[in-house]
Structure 1
Amino acid sequence: MTTPLPPGRAVALDGLITHIRDIPGDDPDAEPALYVHGLGGSGLDWADLAPLLTSRLSAQAIDLPGFGRSEPGRRYGVAACAARTIRWLEESGRGPVHLFGNSHGGTVSIVVAARRPDLVRSLTLISPAMPFTDPRWSEHSRLLPLLLVPWVHVLSARYLSTLDPTEVARDNLLRCYGDPTLITEERVARVADEVRRRQGLPWYPAATVRTFRDLVGAFLRAPLPGGGSLWRTAAGVTAPTLVIAGRRDRLIDIRVAPRVAAAIPDSRLLILDTVGHLAHVEAPGTVAGAVLDFLADR
């Protein structure tokens, strides 16, 4: 059974509440780290991996704007989430940190590392949501037409309120796991508790839709000239980087991870054959071992 993360605390950043969970290291000299979750997630997503790294890291997990227990932001998307993450690193004074990001949080972490190399000691990316254009590689592609519907977040809120949290949790886990036999009832119940809480947050559907819409827009802009390409941003990352992906990822094209590792100059790549989109949840021991080996060389 996963050890629950501490309940965390609310901090005010530019007048908006951001939720932070502290995962202290085992040693006073443990190095600072920050975990950044994916779209629709929260700092709780790191409950499996974070305790396995306390021998080396004294970490925090941040809830991005509108997710987890953080208040909604004035803006959403990669740039806004990166700006909030940078503000917290500045406010906390803990940088440079070992920065971890999963999915959308991986994209956010790439932007943070490129914009503020002084704040990032190393970068670990787990299935980063970097641009790809073949919709057949993502189950999220069926949601793309909905982004064109006006006020879709209002309709989504009404629809989500009618769904059974346990079934939503089970469906989400099946979509994210490479090996569904590893999904326990304890895991389903824990995710269902979060789903139930989100159903009571009036801003959650808007935060999800607007963040997803921004990410799709970033994918479409990636091949265009100019400074807005996420691939050009990745090429500007100077921090040593570990890229981890699951070959059974049903949300992000598996060809993305090698391209990310190729784009970032100082990087290494790990592909896990039987794992899906959430390697840090599905195979936390394997991921922790890879991270500790990676950090040992720093």
Structure 2
Amino acid sequence: MTARPAGALDTRESPWSFSAPWGTRGWITDLDGPVHWIEFGAPASNGHDNGRRAAPPVVFVHGLGGSHLNWVTIGPALAADRRAVALDLRGFGLTPGTRRTSTVTANVGLLDRFLREVIGTPAVLVGNSMGGLISILQSQANPDTVAGAVLLDPALPQLGQRPDPMVIGQFLTYAMPGAGELFLRASNSRVSPEQSVRRVLDLCFADPSRAAEPLVDALVALARARRHLTGAEAAFLGAARSTIRAVANPRRYQAVMAGVRAPVLLIQGELDRLVSLASARTAAAANPGWQTCYLPGVGHTPQLEVPELVVDAVGAWLSHHPALRAGRGVAS
């Protein structure tokens, strides 16, 4: 009999294995609908390690259009001394969703339930892009579930530089009712999964040649499987439009960021085409307690483009915070 991970009631082993080459196990937990997630290394069976309390686990939160595969390049290293899991938000990866359930607000609710019912102890959230936004919102609204937050190029109000014309045009199309649906439908009918993945890598990497081939192969396989899912386009647009709304009010967003009390590490690729370096520097200046790490020559997904640098930065940050090396309980 396959052992189920600790704390995960109504959980069964996943039939998919896209991330298996990186030593993961996949699971599906019923949280008012199936939620797919993976665990790096051996599943945790309890909260103790040789008589001492375990370090806070890491929970990875992907961005718009992402999935659990966004974390396979750094997950094994961060799982060396703590539990590390990555979930697929509603509407992404292998977790089904709808226009309503895939919004930022709805996925904050999903993350909160996942932390309480599957993880069961305050976690270090590691979020990229939209996942960084979701991690900020969770940290501010539900601080009892968050031990710390690593924000990798989080979605922020665009400040300080002229937006990339292709990016601004794409997101304006997403924002327009009807036009966004037509655009995605036409794109999916004309572009192969291989071409779709390469386009995303071209957008999110400063140097797409850094993408490891095993990762590309897994991303293409997942993209091919998602072509058979119903409602994926509507779910994507629900998430995209809610992300646009969330960053449209800089003053309100800054108030939320200022309300985060957990330790924060902000990592920013200096050649990010989606979130400007100026926006990241503004957020860091407004939150002087945050630790920052700027990566020259790196794009929007540092964990995939320069995983060794990200692992080193996160490891050093964790080692400087005693609270992140000692477990604590969580209210459920």
TM exceeding 0.5: yes
What does the per-residue CA deviation read over 1:76-114, in whole Å, with 9 as the maximum and x for residues that have no partner?
A: 322111111001111125221111100000000000000
Shift of 1:12: 1.0
Out of 100, 105, 108, the position equivalent to 1:82 is 108
Give the corresponding residue for 2:273: 250
- Match among 289, 313, 316 for residue 293 of structure 1: 316
1:112-142 deviations in Å (ceiling 9; x for gaps) = 0001111111110000001126662474211
Residue 11 of structure 1: which of 29, 38, 41 is its match?
A: 29
Would you say the 8 A contact 1:243–1:260 is kept in 2?
A: no
Q: Secondary structure at the match of 2:60?
A: strand
Conserved in 1, the CA contact under 8 Å of 2:211 and 2:304? no
Preserved contact between residue 30 and residue 54 of structure 1 (Cα < 8 Å): no
Answer whether contact 1:132 1:256 (CA < 8 A) is retained.
yes
CA deviation vs aligned residue, 1:247-287 (integer Å, no higher than 9, x gap): 11111111122223233353111000011111111111111
Structure 2 unaligned segments of length 5 or more: list them.
1-19, 322-332
Post-superposition shift, 1:30?
Answer: 4.5
Q: Which moved more, 1:144-153 or 1:38-47?
A: 144-153
Structure 2 counterpart of 1:107? 133
Q: Distance in 1 between matches of 2:235 and 2:162?
A: 22
Q: Sort the Cα spacing of 1:209 and 1:5 in 2 relative to 1 into closer, same or farther, 3 A.
A: farther
Query: What is the CA–CA distance in structure 2 between the aligned matches of 1:119 and 1:281, rounded to whole Å?
Result: 26
Which amino acid counterpart does residue 239 of structure 1 have in structure 2? A
2:85 is aligned, of 31, 56, 60, to 60
Judge conservation of contact 1:138–1:252 (CA < 8 Å) in 2.
no
Extract unaligned runs of 5+ from structure 1: 224-228
AA partner of residue 38 (structure 1): G
Indicate if the aligned counterparts of 1:102 and 1:128 stay in contact, CA closer than 8 A: yes
Equivalent pair of 2:89/2:102 in contact (CA under 8 Å) = no
CA distance in 2, matches of 1:155, 1:122: 38
CA drift of 1:219 comes to 2.2
Q: Distance in 2 between matches of 1:22 and 1:138?
A: 38
Q: Residues of 1 paired with 2:96 and 2:156: CA distance? A: 26
The alignment-based identity, stated in percent, is: 30
TM-superposed CA distance for 1:174, in Å, is: 1.4
Equivalent residue of 1:57, what SS? coil
Question: Which of 262-271 and 50-59 deviates more?
Answer: 262-271
Match 2:230 to one of 202, 206, 210: 202
1:63-212 to 2 correspondences below 5 Å: 63-73=88-98, 74-132=100-158, 136-137=163-164, 139-146=166-173, 147-150=175-178, 152-153=180-181, 156-212=184-240
Q: Is the 8 A contact 2:25 2:41 kept in 1?
A: no
Of the two structures, which has the highest relative contact order with CA contacts closer than 8 Å and spacing of 6 or more? 2
Give, in whole Å, the separation in 2 of the partners of 1:135 and 1:75: 33
* CA-to-aligned-CA distance 1:163-200 (integer Å, 9 cap, x gap): 11111111211111112332344433222212212222
Q: Secondary structure at the match of 1:262?
A: helix
How much does 1:144 deviate?
3.3
Counterpart Cα distance in 1 of 2:109 and 2:62:
15
Change in CA separation of 1:96 and 1:197 when aligned onto 2, cut-off 3 Å: same
Deviation, 1:54, is 1.8
Paired position in structure 2 for 1:226: none
> Structure 1 residues 161 and 5, CA, compared in 2 at 3 Å: closer, same or farther?
farther
Aligned to 2:5: none
> Equivalents in 2 of 1:137, 1:263: separation in Å?
24
Q: Which position in structure 2 is the counterpart of 1:221?
A: 249
> Which piece of structure 1 moves more, 186-195 or 206-215?
186-195
Counterpart of 1:291 in 2: which secondary structure? Answer: helix
Scaled by the length of structure 1, the TM-score of the pair is 0.90
1:40 alignment partner in structure 2: 65
Aligned residues: 292
Rounded Cα–Cα distance in structure 1 between residues aligned with 2:214 and 2:41: 25
CA root-mean-square deviation: 2.3
